[in-house]
């Protein structure tokens, strides 16, 4: 596993991860490229820099925990975990096939190193808060990171969880909202607007940091600020571009849940060379 705090080195890993995302979704002929590409820097920065974890000892009690609330973006998580050494890189292209450990949504039965099975939106933050609370009960330094989609936070349970996290002062959790502004049916602002989003999290009692979700140095600073913030949970509102890194996928709702053709895959990989 490459562990580095150098943003340039993390950016190189992010490019590799993006290539995996495109290739595995193309091989599967289905999947969700847009929201995987938007979350790439977030997930890479966490696994390859910020989080304390050990692929050779995935159940280490004091490890930091990661939950992908927006489980459909699992190609990014699988790619990052594979690059870290948790699972085989050469099997990424079995994604979504019968018997593959790379299930259509994260499934702990197939990859025990995952912290939670997700895919039904809105539940990951609550589970993460439970894990963060367990760490507090146990006097463990473990931190928990939960990545949510912006569309996902239309789920009411997110706001039940937000109230809970603030009420219990769970300051060892970081909720990252991948604010890519697109959901399955179209643009979030047209489907069910969320603005003023930062104000919403602040009013629920979360220390809220807005960053460019593709700026690795800014993400690192936000995660360090979260660690230094005591007595309240932190929300990193990461402004991102859906489909980031592949020009024809960027900001186009079509690429929420469509697989590229072989030709489109080749074009995308050229851009990610």
Partner 1 sequence: MSVSTKYELKLGVATREAFGKALVELGQKDPNVVVCDADLSKSTYTNFFEKEFPERFVECGIAEANMVAIGAGLAAAGKTAFVASFSAFVINKGFEQLRVTAAYPNVPLKVVGTHSGISIGEDGPSQMSIEDLSLACNLPGFTVLAPADEVSMKACIHLAAEIHGPVFVRAGRSKAAIVYTPGTEFHSGGSHQLLDGNDVAIFANGLLVAEAIRAAEALDAEGISARVIDIYCVKPIDRDAIVRASTECRAIVVAEEHLKDTGIGSRVAQVCAETTPCVMEFVGLTTYAESGTPEAVLEHYGLMAKDIVAAVKNVLARKK
Question: Which spans of this chain sit near partner 1 (rule: CB under 8 A)?
Answer: 61, 65, 107-109, 115-120, 123, 126-135, 137-138, 156-157, 160-161, 163-164, 167-168
Smallest distance, partner 1 to C-beta of residue 9, A: 31
* H or E element at residue 145: strand 144-149
Judged by CB, which is closer to partner 1: 7, or 122?
Answer: 122
Judged by CB, which is closer to partner 1: 166, or 236?
Answer: 166
Calpha distance 257→202 (Å, rounded): 31
Judged by CB, which is closer to partner 1: 114, or 182?
Answer: 114
Judged by CB, which is closer to partner 1: 21, or 132?
Answer: 132
Residues 6+ apart with CB under 8 A from 199: none
Smallest distance, partner 1 to C-beta of residue 81, A: 17
Cis? peptide before 196, omega within 30° of 0: yes
Smallest distance, partner 1 to C-beta of residue 155, A: 9
Smallest distance, partner 1 to C-beta of residue 193, A: 23
Smallest distance, partner 1 to C-beta of residue 2, A: 27
Grouping H, G, I as helix, E, B as strand and the rest as coil, residue 147 is strand
Judged by CB, which is closer to partner 1: 21, or 147?
Answer: 147
Residue 39's DSSP bridge partners are none
Q: Which of 46, 22, 53 is nearest to 146 (CA)?
A: 46
Q: Which of 208, 176, 231 is nearest to 42 (CA)?
A: 176
Calpha distance 242→244 (Å, rounded): 5
């Amino acid at each position: 596993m490459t562990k580095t705090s150098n943003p340039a080195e993390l950016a190189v890993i992010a490019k590799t991860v993006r290539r995996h995302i495109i290739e595995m979704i193309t091989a599967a002929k289905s999947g969700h490229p847009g929201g995987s590409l938007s979350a790439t820097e977030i997930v890479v920065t966490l696994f390859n820099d910020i989080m304390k974890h050990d692929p050779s000892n995935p159940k280490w009690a004091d490890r930091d925990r990661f939950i992908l609330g927006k489980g459909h973006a699992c190609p990014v998580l699988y790619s990052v975990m594979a690059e870290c050494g948790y699972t085989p890189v050469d099997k990424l292209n079995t994604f979504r096939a019968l018997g593959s450990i790379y299930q259509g949504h994260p499934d702990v039965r197939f990859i025990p190193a995952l912290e939670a099975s997700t895919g039904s939106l809105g539940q990951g933050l609550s589970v993460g808060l439970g894990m963060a609370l367990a760490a507090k009960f146990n006097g463990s330094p473990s931190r928990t990171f939960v990545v949510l989609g912006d569309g996902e936070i239309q789920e009411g349970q997110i706001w039940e969880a937000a109230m809970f996290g603030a009420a219990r002062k769970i300051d060892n959790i970081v909720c990252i909202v991948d604010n890519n502004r697109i959901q399955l049916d179209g643009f979030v602002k047209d489907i069910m607007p969320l603005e003023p989003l930062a104000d919403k999290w602040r009013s629920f009692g979360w220390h809220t940091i807005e960053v460019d979700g593709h700026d690795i140095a800014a993400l690192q600073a936000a995660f360090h600020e979260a660690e230094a913030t005591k007595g309240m949970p932190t929300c990193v509102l990461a402004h991102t571009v859906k489909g980031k890194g592949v020009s024809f996928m960027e900001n186009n709702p079509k690429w929420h849940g469509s697989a590229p053709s072989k030709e489109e895959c080749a074009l995308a990989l050229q851009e990610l060379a």
